[in-house]
């Protein structure tokens, strides 16, 4: 545990200085600032206004960019250290493979989670200063959702990082996975739905394997308990799982997925040549 | 300390180490030599538990992959090139001291000072911003401060200028009297005074494994005469460094050196082997 702590702290300190972290923090912090500056809290869409409106926009932004940013920053961790000969040096020290791998994951989780939560917290504080109504329940739930989504893609990123031999392959694979999850499944499933070739519940079930879709749907559910915004799929989801059931699913599913990928990555990492 | 039996390592279809067997004992100071791609670094990485392999390899009687922490806590390693670590010098020193049972901040500062590096002066500087020589000295200090039973260095002086190399090797001799050493190097002449055994690897096999007993002739003065086939400026400069004098024009030279230096002399003069007509040492 002592070594795990030291690896986590040293990796955290090392990564805080990296350019990707600066860009990552600026993207999420800047997004919140930009949304306030653009007066998004004053606008009204589908009945949502104030801080709720801002949070919805922020979450939509997170759906699109959080997975790819987490993947890009994480996928380079093991393979990047390997290419730069950092791994050779650190693994010549008396550090267990578990301490190295999990220390890196914990550190990366803190690195990706802290900026988005700080940005969210900043929005809430600014809302308080401006005298806006704070949707505490939604803000808290969003923070948890962002945490589980980050964990899910962090695990996937670490898994890819242990699988590939070069950073370029890892980055390419990450972008491909992100595009598939973000765009193609949505587009393909809508196409299938329109063709009426497969029953709706199967299509919705396939969609619910996609952690981005789960996150997106849960984010909508919080402000739109009937899921009217997503059309007929809402019946399948709410009839099968119910409101509370789906909210629980949207937290635990990405969490489990993150753990599965992390463990697969760890077993892959320790089972072969380390360099 | 290190027992290697029939060790084979393949990357795909390419065999890098081909059934090598060797024992490294306490007090051995080994130059691991061989051409690029001969398998030196691969062997070092297997000893450090970083590569899997076929055959048997134990360090202190244990498998370095399965008993990583115990084994590596007794091994100091200095890589060929300093890794691009983003941490500050202070953070790296703290990290190294905290993960090892035998290392300490005071120990690292003292070893670095022995090598001519004042850590205090650079403690807040990023490791990356240090010069190549300073980085290497710091990595050596971190390795030595763990009081390793085995010190493994992969081309440790590659990043140092000639005067830096000389100082580094002198400091190294003083720093590691009781340590078993495995030194991978292209230039045997640089390390010849440090070592007592040479292992040469070629195409994945051990082609030479010899003990170097320098004790018998160590303090005897040896007379040497060399005749070249044609004048050679580089050879002349080298021989002048050894205080040799020209005899009968610029083709024949004579001079003296002590027995302890004979291997270093021979490896240095071997660079001009094509131009040597006659060489005698008495």
Instruction: Return d(Cα A253, Cα A85) in angstroms, integer.
Output: 36
Residue B72 at interface with chain A, using a CB cutoff of 8 Å: yes
pLDDT for position B81: 84
| Chain B residues in contact with A84 (beta carbon < 8 A) | 83-84
Give the bridge partners for B257, in sequence order. B222
pTM: 0.82
CB-closest option in A2, A15, A94 to B72: A94
CB contact under 8 A, B84 and A17: no
Q: How far is A94 from chain B (nearest CA, A)?
A: 4
Beta bridge partners of B255: B224
Among chain A residues, CA nearest to B52: A273
Residue B162: the pLDDT is 58
Asked if A88's CB is within 8 angstroms of B86's CB, the reply is no
Interface test with B, best of A2, A9, A10 (most B CBs within 10 A): A10
E-state strands within B35-192: 54-59, 75-78, 150-154, 180-184
CA distance B10 to chain A (A): 11
For chain B, the average pLDDT equals 85
Q: Cα–Cα distance between A193 and A97 in angstroms, integer?
A: 47
Q: Is B81 on the interface with A (CB under 8 A)?
A: yes
In this predicted structure, the answer to whether residue B10 has a pLDDT above a threshold of 70 is: yes
Q: Which residue of B has its CA nearest to A1?
A: B99
pLDDT number for residue A184:
66
B168, pLDDT greater than 60: yes
Rounded distance between C-alpha atoms, residue A270 and residue A99, angstroms: 12
Position A15 scores a pLDDT of 83
Q: Check pLDDT > 70 for residue B47.
A: yes
CB pairs under 8 A between A and B: 78
Closest CA to A81 of A103, A109, A66, A65: A103
The per-residue pLDDT for range B92-123, each reduced to its tens digit, is 999 999 888 888 889 899 888 888 888 989 99
Q: Which residues pair with B252 in a beta bridge?
A: B227, B247
Does position B152 have pLDDT exceeding 60, yes or no? Answer: yes
pLDDT of B213: 67
Residue of A nearest to B152 (CA): A92
Q: Which residues are CB-neighbours of A143 under 8 A, at least 6 positions away?
A: A117, A120
Contacts of A96 in chain B (CB under 8 A): 68-69
Q: What pLDDT, in 10s, does the model give residues B184-223?
A: 877 676 677 678 889 999 888 999 888 876 556 666 788 9
Residue A226 confidence (pLDDT): 75
Q: How far apart, in whole angstroms, are the C-alpha atoms of residue B68 and residue B53?
A: 15
pLDDT of amino acid A98: 93
Nearest to A119 by CA among A66, A185, A175, A81: A66
Q: Please compute the mean of the pLDDT values over residues B7-18 and round it to a whole number.
A: 92
- Give yes or no for B10 touching A (CB within 8 A): no
CA pair distance A41, A218, nearest whole angstrom:
22
With a cut of 90, say whether residue B51 has pLDDT above it: yes
Full residue range of the structural domain in which residue A177 is found = 2-271
User: Domains of chain B (ranges plus CATH)?
Assistant: 2-211 (3.40.50.300), 221-281 (3.30.70)
Structure tokens at A96: 């267990």
| Cβ atoms of residues B155 and B180 within 8 Å | no
Nearest CA to CA, how far is B199 from chain A (Å)?
A: 22
B42 at A interface, C-beta within 8 A: no
Cβ separation B83–A2 shorter than 8 A: no
Q: Hey, are the CB atoms on A94 and B86 less than 8 Å from each other?
A: no
| pLDDT of amino acid A176 | 92
Burial of A165 (0-12, 13-18, 19+ CB in 10 A): exposed
> Using the beta-carbon criterion (under 8 Å), do B79 and A88 form an inter-chain contact?
yes
Q: Is B101 on the interface with A (CB under 8 A)?
A: yes
**Cα atoms in the 13 Å half-sphere on the side-chain side of B112:** 24
Domain tally for chain A?
1
- Degrees (nearest 5) of the Cα angle B134, A82, A65? 115
Q: Nearest CA of chain A to the CA of B243: how many Å?
A: 42
Among A164-173, A191-200, B149-158, B253-262, the minimum mean pLDDT is found in: A191-200
Evaluate whether B6 touches B55 at the Cβ level (below 8 Å).
yes
A18 contacts B50? CB cut-off 8 A? no
Q: Which helix (H) or strand (E) holds B160?
A: none
Predicted local distance difference test score (pLDDT) of residue A22? 85
pLDDT along chain A (275 residues), means of 10: 88 83 83 74 64 80 86 88 89 92 93 88 84 82 90 95 91 91 73 74 80 85 75 72 86 95 95 88
Q: What is the pLDDT of residue B20?
A: 93
Closest CA of chain B from A30, distance in Å:
25
In the prediction, which pLDDT does B29 show? 87
CB contact under 8 A, A275 and B84: no
CB contact under 8 A, A93 and B72: yes
């Amino acid at each position: 545990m002592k070594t795990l702590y030291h690896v986590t702290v040293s990796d955290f300190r090392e990564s805080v200085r990296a350019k990707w972290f600066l860009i990552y923090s600026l993207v999420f912090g800047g997004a919140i600032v930009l949304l306030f500056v653009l007066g998004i809290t004053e606008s009204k869409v589908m009945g949502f206004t104030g801080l709720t409106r801002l949070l919805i926009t922020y979450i939509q932004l997170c759906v699109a960019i959080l997975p790819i940013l987490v993947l890009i920053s994480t996928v380079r961790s093991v393979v990047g250290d390997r290419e730069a000969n950092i791994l050779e040096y650190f693994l010549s020290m008396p550090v267990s493979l578990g301490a190295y791998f999990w220390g890196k994951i914990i550190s990366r989780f803190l690195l990706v989670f802290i900026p988005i939560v700080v940005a969210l917290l900043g929005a809430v504080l600014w809302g308080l200063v401006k005298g806006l109504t704070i949707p505490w329940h939604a803000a808290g739930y969003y923070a948890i959702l962002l945490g589980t989504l980050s964990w899910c893609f962090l695990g996937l990123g670490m898994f890819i990082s242990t699988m590939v031999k070069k950073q370029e392959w890892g980055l390419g694979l990450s972008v491909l996975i992100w595009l598939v999850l973000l765009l193609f499944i949505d587009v393909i499933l809508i196409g299938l739905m329109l063709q009426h070739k497969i029953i709706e519940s199967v299509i919705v079930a396939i969609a619910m394997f996609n952690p981005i879709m789960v996150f997106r749907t849960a984010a909508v559910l919080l402000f739109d308990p009937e899921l009217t915004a997503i059309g007929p799929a809402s019946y399948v989801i709410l009839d099968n799982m119910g409101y509370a059931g789906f909210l629980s699913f949207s937290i635990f599913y990405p969490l489990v997925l993150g753990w599965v990928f992390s463990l697969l990555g760890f077993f892959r990492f320790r089972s072969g040549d380390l360099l | 300390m290190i027992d290697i039996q029939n060790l084979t390592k393949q990357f795909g279809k390419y065999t890098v180490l081909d059934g090598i067997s060797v024992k490294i004992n306490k007090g051995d100071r080994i130059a691991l030599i061989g051409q690029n791609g001969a398998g030196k670094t691969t062997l070092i990485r297997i000893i450090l538990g970083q590569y899997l392999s076929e055959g048997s390899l134990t360090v202190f009687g244990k498998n370095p992959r399965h008993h990583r922490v115990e084994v590596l806590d007794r091994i100091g390693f200095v890589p060929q090139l300093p890794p691009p670590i983003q941490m500050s010098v202070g953070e790296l020193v703290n990290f190294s001291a905290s993960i090892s049972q035998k290392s300490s901040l005071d120990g690292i500062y003292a070893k670095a000072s022995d090598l001519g590096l004042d850590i205090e002066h650079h403690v807040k500087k990023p490791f990356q911003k240090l010069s190549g020589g300073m980085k290497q000295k710091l990595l050596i200090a971190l390795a030595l401060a763990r009081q390793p039973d085995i010190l493994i260095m992969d081309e440790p002086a590659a990043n140092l200028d000639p005067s830096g190399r000389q100082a580094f090797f002198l400091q190294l001799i003083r720093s590691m009297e009781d340590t078993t050493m495995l030194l991978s190097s292209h230039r045997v002449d640089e390390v010849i005074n440090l070592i007592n055994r040479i292992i040469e690897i070629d195409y994945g096999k051990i082609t030479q494994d010899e003990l170097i007993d320098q004790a018998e002739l160590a303090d005897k003065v040896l007379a040497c005469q060399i005749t070249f086939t044609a004048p050679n400026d580089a050879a002349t400069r080298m021989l002048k460094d050894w205080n040799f004098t020209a005899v009968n024009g610029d083709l024949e030279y004579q001079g003296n050196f002590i027995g302890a230096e004979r291997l270093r002399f021979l490896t240095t003069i071997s660079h001009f082997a094509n131009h040597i007509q006659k060489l005698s040492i008495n």
